[in-house]
A = this chain, B = another copy of it.
Amino acid sequence: MFRKISLILLMLTFAISEADNGYNLWLQYVQIEDVNVRQAYIEKLNQIVYLNDNETINVALDELNIGLSGMLGLSDVSALVNSEKINNESGLMLATYSTLSDGLKREFKSDFNKINEEGFIIKSVIINNVSQIIITGKTEVAVLYGTFRFLKLLQSHQSLNNLNIIDAPKIQKRVLNHWDNLDRTVERGYSGFSIWDWHRLPDYLDFRYTDYARANASVGINGTVLNNVNANANILTPQYLEKVAALAKVFRPYGIKVYLTARFSAPMEIGGLKTSDPLDEDVISWWKQKVKEVYQFIPDFGGFLVKANSEGQPGPQNYGRNHVDGANMLAEALNPFGGIVMWRAFVYSEHDTTDRAKQAYSEFVPFDGKFKDNVLIQVKNGAIDFQPREPFHPMFGAMPKTPLMMEFQITQEYLGQSTHTVFLPKFYEEVLKTDTYREGKGSTVAKVIDGSLNNQKLTGIAGVSNVGTDINWTGNVMLQANWYGYGRLAWNPDLKAENIANEWIRMTFSNDIAVVKTIEDILLMSHEAVVNYMTPFGLHHIMATGHHYGPGPWVANLSRPEWNPVYYHKADANGIGFDRTEKGSGATDQYAKEVSKEFSNLNSCPEEYLLWFHHLSWEYKLKSGVTLWDGLALKYQEGVNQVKQMVDYWKSLEGKIDQQRFKEVEMLLNIQLKEAKWWRDACLLYFQQFSKKQLPQGVEKSTKSLEEFKNMTFPFAPGN
């Protein structure tokens, strides 16, 4: 027996940790188990040379230390690092363009022509007969991005031979929007509470801030709006600006700029003025002073995000002014310092009886060309509000003289919150590759956003963050993929969701091909599944009130008509769906002719948008030949079946990944299955009142009554 123990003693802790709590996200850097792979890497990395000495290069070196010591099992990589010239050992070199030798400058000239300030080059070269890997770019942050990309090669067990990677972001402002309140609650947050511990800032800098910056930089996110669009003016007081500055200092080496939301009524609330009229001289000068003060605290402050005259927020319309007046006033204050305004187009009014889906377009498109150069209009992916599936927002492509930013939601307000596994890059990809036809065929949403369609000088994209205080950041390790995937698509909106899934799994879980394939299958089917069990065929906005948790198609008693699900599904004895064709609200007219025709015509309208654009009888024949009622019921069932499949796939991973994450996701998928059935049963029982039809074969009957579903309450549901 003693011999046995002695042997065990030698088997040191090589194995994957049994208790991986997910904190390390996709930057796991676990030791590579295959000795040959590890050894091949080690032989390539006899030294690490850096030619620049600044805080960004320092964090790149830190990351190499964490990553290489973890993956290669080295106790301390810093012993390999030096800032001198390359000696006769093969190794890695970090250098910006300006520090490269003249020879290398010449060698890399054409590559440098292909990249912007944030783009990087990773290239194998021979110097003095020794092979070297060079990570370079025009700026230090480009080198940092290259370093993360280099580490990813090792994370996914790729060869380091003959490297020739040239990559640059296609969109300039790649930001996260945190809907975080100053009391640390998070609007639509389902991963605990805000990671910003305002009370202990600026003197206590949680290590989490650095890890947050690392995660963002690893995918190229270069900006963060710290606070909720439903803003509190206190954030602009010196007491808070000092705290914001402390965060900005942590993020700066990682190339991440800090932005804040600006409450339009701040001049009154914290400035003591009697008005916030954007044309009032005192207001204008108050904002100029305030912006100057902000830049004294944060010299590289990014700018303001503004939600104005939307869902009760104050704005220029309170004074008879318009969005241009409001946005441009702030833009002028920010302009001397290089700051920008991100002005949200998410507006709709309870006093406007036109289809809510039409209002943002109607209000903003006439302003095309009227905004200052440092204003971006931030537009949600669809015209309603982050529904499981929406057709693209008609504003995309419709304002050629105005830079439009995409606003995606990473947090899952309407998508099962943090319990449901939904791989959103699949949906983001669907939106981005859709053709607006605004400048003829090929005018994809991606080209609107990356500015190439109309040659925009300023481009941006925003993702409403799903990050919170939960140890694994997103409440569900599977949803880390959405943060990752958003970042990747923000860098390059033409990437394929499938590839994003593949690389995320390899970095996060395992390079074991069985594991990769299984999780990939789960991720790639997950978005269609949630659409099926929540809102198939273009249904939308049929969730419960307030917390938006679970189904509520019956809700009809809210003060604003367009807050009620019945406004959207319009189910009655005759059928279901919102007629947005010319015969109905005419929302289809807001699209380019080709698109409008496609959506308006029942023969060409994609079935996934059917009830978004059409009110159809329960007897309407779907392409499959079944009636709409039967098809709807079968789709709900299909969603449930897909989740069952996801559960089964996941179970096959037991023992192939660490126990903690395995069990956590298993519990969550079981909740998702339970809730998919809840959605199916509640919605079908409700709609059945109108269709008066039996469920088709293959659709399971509910074990609860409609009344029971209606009576369910969730008094302290999160994110409300």
A residues whose Cβ falls under 8 Å from a Cβ of B: 1-2, 4-6, 8-9, 11-15, 19, 21, 23, 42-43, 45-47, 69, 72-76, 79-80, 87, 89, 182-184, 192-193, 197-200, 203-205, 207-208, 234, 419, 469-471, 660, 663-664, 667-668, 670-671, 674, 714-718
| Seed contacts A4-B79, A12-B75; 10 additional CB < 8 Å A-B pairs | A8-B75, A9-B73, A192-B192, A193-B469, A198-B716, A199-B718, A200-B671, A203-B671, A204-B664, A205-B667
Measured in the bound complex, the distance between the Cα atoms of B469 and A15 in whole Å is 29
* CA distance in complex: A47, B716 (Å): 50
Sampled A-B contacts (12; CB under 8 Å): A1-B46, A5-B74, A6-B42, A19-B207, A182-B715, A192-B197, A193-B193, A198-B716, A203-B674, A208-B471, A234-B716, A469-B469
Chain B residues near A184 (CB-CB < 8 A): 193, 716, 718
Q: Chain copies in the assembly?
A: 2
Name the B residues within 8 Å of A714 (CB-CB). 199
Pairs of residues from A and B, 6 with the lowest C-beta to C-beta distance, nearest first: A11-B75, A1-B46, A1-B89, A182-B716, A183-B716, A203-B671
Contact present for A207 and B674 (CB under 8 Å):
no
Q: In the assembled complex, how far is the CB of residue A287 from the closest CB belonging to chain B, in whole angstroms? A: 22
Which of chain B's residues have a CB closer than 8 A to the CB of A6?
A: 42
Q: How far is the CA of A87 from the CA of B419 in the complex (A)?
A: 49
- B13 and A75 form a contact (CB under 8 A): yes
Measured between beta carbons, the chain B residues less than 8 angstroms from A716 are 182-184, 198-199, 234
Minimum CB–CB distance for A677 against chain B, Å: 13
Most buried by B among A11, A184, A204, A718: A204
Chain A contact residues, majority secondary structure: loop
A672 → chain B, closest Cβ, in Å?
10
A471 contact set on B, CB distance < 8 A: 23, 208, 471
- A717–B199 Cα distance when bound, in Å, is 6
Interchain CA distance A73-B199 in the complex, whole Å: 40
What distance in Å separates the Cβ of A504 from its nearest Cβ neighbour in chain B?
22
In the complex, chain B residues whose CB is within 8 Å of the CB of A14:
75
Q: Report the minimum CB–CB distance from A550 to chain B (whole Å).
A: 11
Could you say which of B46, B203, B205, B660 contacts A207, with CB atoms under 8 Å apart?
A: B660
A12 and B9 within 8 A (CB): no
How many angstroms from the CA of A671 to the CA of B42 in the assembled complex? 44
CA–CA, A152 and B291, complex, Å: 57
A200 near B419: Cβ-Cβ < 8 Å: yes
For A667, list chain B residues within 8 Å (CB): 203-205
List, in ascending order, chain B residues with CB within 8 A of A76's CB: 8
* The one of B21, B72, B183, B193 that contacts A192, using a Cβ cutoff of 8 Å: B193
A481 to chain B, nearest CB (A): 19
**Closest chain B residue to A663, Cβ basis:** B207
Most buried by B among A19, A47, A74, A234: A74
User: Chain B nearest CB: distance from A80 CB in Å?
Assistant: 7
Residue with the highest number of chain B CB atoms closer than 10 Å, among A69, A192, A717: A192
> Known: A199-B714, A208-B471. Contact between A8 and B74, CB under 8 A?
yes
Query: Which residue in chain B gives the minimum CB-CB distance to A476?
Result: B204
Instruction: Assess A73 versus B12: contact at CB under 8 Å? Given A199-B717, A234-B715.
Output: yes
- Check if B715 sits within 8 Å of A204, measured CB to CB: no
Least CB separation from A6: chain B residue:
B42
What residues on B are CB-neighbors of A80 within 8 Å? Answer: 1, 5
Nearest B residue to A70 by beta-carbon distance?
Answer: B13
CA distance A89 to B42 in the complex (A): 43
Residues of chain B within 8 A of A182, CB atoms compared:
715-716
- Report how far A11 CA is from B79 CA in the complex, Å: 13
- Interchain CA distance A72-B9 in the complex, whole Å: 8
Among residues of B, the one whose C-beta sits closest to the C-beta of A19 is: B207
Closest to A42 in B: B5
Q: Given the complex of chains A and B, what is the CA–CA distance between A234 and B192 in angstroms?
A: 21
A47 to B717, CA, bound (A): 49
Cα distance, A89 to B5, chains bound together (Å): 12
Q: Nearest B residue to A8 by beta-carbon distance?
A: B74
Q: In the complex, which residue of chain B has the Cβ closest to the Cβ of A714? A: B199
For the complex, give the distance between the alpha carbons of A668 and B5 in Å: 43
Q: What residues on B are CB-neighbors of A204 within 8 Å?
A: 419, 664, 667-668, 671
Q: Which of B74, B203, B207 contacts A21 (CB 8 A)?
A: B207
Inter-chain CA distance A14–B203, complex, in Å, is: 33
In the bound complex, do residue A9 and residue B203 qualify as a contact, i.e. CB atoms below 8 Å apart? no
Which residues in B have their C-beta under 8 angstroms from that of A42? 5-6, 9
Pick the contact of A2: B69, B89, B199 (CB < 8 A): B89
Of B11, B43, B197, B670, which one neighbours A203 at CB under 8 angstroms? Answer: B670
In the bound complex, residues from chain B placing their C-beta under 8 Å from that of A671 are 200, 203-204
CB closest chain-B residue, reference A22: B207
Residues of B within 8 A of A200 (CB): 419, 671
Q: Which residues of B contact A192 (CB under 8 A)?
A: 192-193, 197, 469
